[in-house]
C-alpha cells in the first residue's frame, strides 16, 4: 500500500462545496518577470493579465479566491494579483538566509521582503511553516519565523506543517531515489512545543492544515 492510501487519501468521497471558488498556484518570479529568460514571453505576461481578469470576474460573482505561494514574485505581479484574493497561503521555510540558500540554492531576502508586501496588500494571510528535521526542526528556527510574522499585517493564522514522506511514492514511480528516506516526521510533543512558542507571541497557531 502506498503512502497516500495509508494516509487515507481517496478513502471517502468529499463531494462538492456550496459555492464555486478559484484556487491559484504560485506565480514564480522566474516565469513572470521580464528580466528572467523564461519570463520574457508575451504569453507569460498575458497569463498574468488574464489571471487578474479571471480573479476580478470571480470576485464580481462573490466567489472565494485563494493562492498558495512561496512569495518569489515581482512586486508588479503581487500588486496586480494579491488585492483580488480572499486568502493567501504563504510558505516561509526559514528566517535565516544562509540556511535557506544551503538547502534551496537561493537566499530568502526576496521571500521575506515580499511577505511584508503581501501582508499589506492581502485581506487575509495564513503563514505556513513546513517543519523539517535537519532543516528548521528546532525552537530557535520556529521562534525566528514567528517573530518575523509579528511584523506582518493581516495574518489570521500560522500553520505548522510536520514533515511527511508521502512524496516518496512519486519518486518511486519516476524511478528516482528518495534521498530523505531516513528522515522521520517530528515528534508530536515537539510540534506542540513549537505551537506554544508561536502562540506566546500572540499568533493564532494550528498544527497541520
Assess if residue 141 is contained within a domain. yes
Give the CATH number for residue 185: 3.20.20.70
Number of structural domains in the chain: 1
Query: How far does Cα 41 stand from its chain's mean position?
Result: 26
Q: Which residue has the cell 507569460?
A: 44
Residue 180 has pLDDT above 70, yes or no: yes
Integer Cα distance of 200 and 46 in angstroms: 45
Left, alpha or beta for 5 (phi > 0: left; psi -120 to 50: alpha)? alpha
Instruction: Assign 96 to helix, strand or coil.
Output: coil
Range of the structural domain that residue 143 is part of: 3-10+20-27+64-207
| The three cell numbers locating residue 115 | 511577505
Instruction: Assign 69 to helix, strand or coil.
Output: strand
Contact present, 142 and 196 (Cβ < 8 Å) = no
Query: How much of the chain, in percent, has pLDDT values that exceed 70?
Result: 82
Name the residue with higher pLDDT: 175 or 193: 193
Assess if residue 55 is contained within a domain. no
In 3D, which of 180, 152, 153 has the Cα closest to residue 168?
180
Assess if residue 149 is contained within a domain. yes
Assess if residue 163 is contained within a domain. yes
Assess if residue 33 is contained within a domain. no
Sheet holding 87-91, edge to edge: 21-25, 64-69, 87-91, 125-131, 155-162, 205-207
Assess if residue 46 is contained within a domain. no
Name the residue with higher pLDDT: 114 or 176: 114
Q: What is the mean pLDDT of residues 93-121?
A: 94
Assess if residue 69 is contained within a domain. yes
Q: What is the pLDDT of residues 33-83, one digit of tens each?
A: 666 665 556 666 677 788 889 889 999 999 899 999 988 888 888 999 999
| Total residues belonging to the chain | 209
Amino acid at each position: 500500500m502506498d503512502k497516500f492510501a495509508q494516509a487515507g487519501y481517496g478513502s471517502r468521497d468529499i463531494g462538492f462545496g456550496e459555492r464555486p471558488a478559484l484556487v491559484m498556484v504560485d506565480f514564480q518570479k522566474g516565469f513572470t518577470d521580464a528580466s528572467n529568460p523564461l519570463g520574457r514571453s508575451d504569453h507569460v505576461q498575458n497569463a498574468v493579465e488574464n489571471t487578474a481578469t479571471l480573479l476580478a470576474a470571480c470576485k464580481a460573482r462573490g466567489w472565494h479566491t485563494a493562492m498558495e505561494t512561496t512569495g518569489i514574485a515581482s512586486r508588479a505581479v503581487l500588486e496586480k494579483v494579491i488585492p483580488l484574493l480572499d486568502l493567501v497561503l504563504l510558505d516561509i521555510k526559514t528566517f535565516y538566509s544562509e540556511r535557506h540558500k544551503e538547502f534551496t540554492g537561493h537566499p530568502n531576502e526576496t521571500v521575506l521582503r515580499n511577505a511584508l508586501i503581501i501582508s499589506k496588500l492581502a485581506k487575509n494571510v495564513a503563514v505556513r511553516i513546513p517543519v523539517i528535521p535537519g532543516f528548521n526542526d528546532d525552537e530557535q528556527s520556529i521562534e525566528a519565523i514567528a517573530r518575523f510574522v509579528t511584523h506582518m499585517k493581516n495574518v489570521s493564522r500560522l500553520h505548522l506543517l510536520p514533515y511527511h514522506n508521502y512524496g516518496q511514492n512519486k519518486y518511486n514511480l519516476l524511478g528516482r531515489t528518495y534521498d530523505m528516506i531516513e528522515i522521520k516526521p517530528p515528534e508530536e510533543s515537539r510540534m506542540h512545543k513549537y505551537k506554544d512558542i508561536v502562540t506566546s507571541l500572540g499568533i493564532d497557531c494550528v498544527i497541520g492544515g
